[in-house]
Structure 1
Amino acid sequence: MKINNLGSMGVNPYKRSLEKSATAAQKPQTKEDKVEISSKAIDLQQSNEVTKARQEKVQAIKTQLESGTYTIDPKAIATGLVNFYKK
């Protein structure tokens, strides 16, 4: 019995997939990410009043924690969670 190369015709599917991936990798990427911040957001970031108020609030909480007088209201937390998930 004689076996001939019937049907193969010299086609290598793995070579084709390698060639396709190589050509895809050579294409230049033209897309760029761009971030734009509005002038209002920049003003808010640079606002000293907001940062001062935040620093005062954080300092007040720190002193309450250190002295042991900071209390957590579980009912207020529960109502806040319920309101958040209802919306």
Structure 2
Amino acid sequence: MKINKFNIPPVNPYRANQVKADQAKEKATAKMDKIEISSKAKQLSETTPFEAKRNERVQQLKAQIESGEYKVEPEKLASDLIKHFQK
């Protein structure tokens, strides 16, 4: 007995799983994270005048140290440390 094909397309049982996996990947890549920063957070992230002055002072000290002009006064340092730890 001979069985003839009647134009039946070949069936791939793994194709359905492949299509589902591709669709899942597309959905995953389509989702995007979104972040919104409040105006209060933006305000807090701005530098304050105090921070600007401090950064300027730090840069001055770094320049003095690198050039060798910075001198430590041991007596003043010791008295300031004692005052700090006596609080």
TM over 0.5: no
TM-score, normalisation: structure 1: 0.43
Larger Rg: 2
TM-score, normalisation: structure 2: 0.43
